[in-house]
Amino acid sequence: MSSESPLKEKVILVVDDEPDVLDTIEEELDMCLVHKATDYDTALQYLLSYTYDIVILDIMGVNGFELLKNSVSRGFPTVMLTAHALSPESLKKSIKLGAVSFLPKEAISELRTYLEDVVLGEGKPVWQKLFDKLGDYFNKRFGPDWKEKDRFFKEFEEEMKKDLESGS
């Protein structure tokens, strides 16, 4: 891969209550300027004080959904990254609150690729790409019929297909 990463010199806020996760992400994103926060109050101060190209939020331990609301209201493309709150309910809430993507911490080694999708998508949601890449993972984790169990996901998938067909 000879081309330069679209993440080069992007400013990213990462919020997680586990310092080792923050360090791992900082290493994965060594081409970026990474701000790190381990708690809600620090993260909120960062969100109110700086402008970010991408915000990455854990859900548990840092009140991630409240931070998501703040981040989205500031217009920052926000990605949820979670281990303990990995469920269809958390995925649905993330979508409804305006996250552009949702990743399991197990996929942290691929974080750069997912964030490049966000940058290349100009901060718009990249749910279709995420489901294409992680569909099998979600099916194993949530059960093969997890989308059929909740009308929200069926309707959301239909919307994504319409958006793809119309090119928006």
Predicted local confidence at residue 3, as pLDDT = 67
Residue among 127, 133, 116 at smallest CA distance from 92: 127
Collapsing DSSP states into helix, strand and coil, what is residue 39? coil
Collapsing DSSP states into helix, strand and coil, what is residue 132? helix
Domain assignments of the chain as residue spans, ordered by start: 11-166
Element (H, E) at 26: helix 19-28
Predicted local confidence at residue 1, as pLDDT = 42
CA distance 90 to 12: 22
State pTM to two decimals.
Answer: 0.92
Q: What is the CATH code for 11-166?
A: 3.40.50.2300
E-assigned strand segments in the chain:
11-15, 33-37, 54-57, 78-82, 101-104
Per-10-residue mean pLDDT, the chain, length 168: 79 96 94 96 97 95 95 96 88 95 90 90 83 89 89 87 74
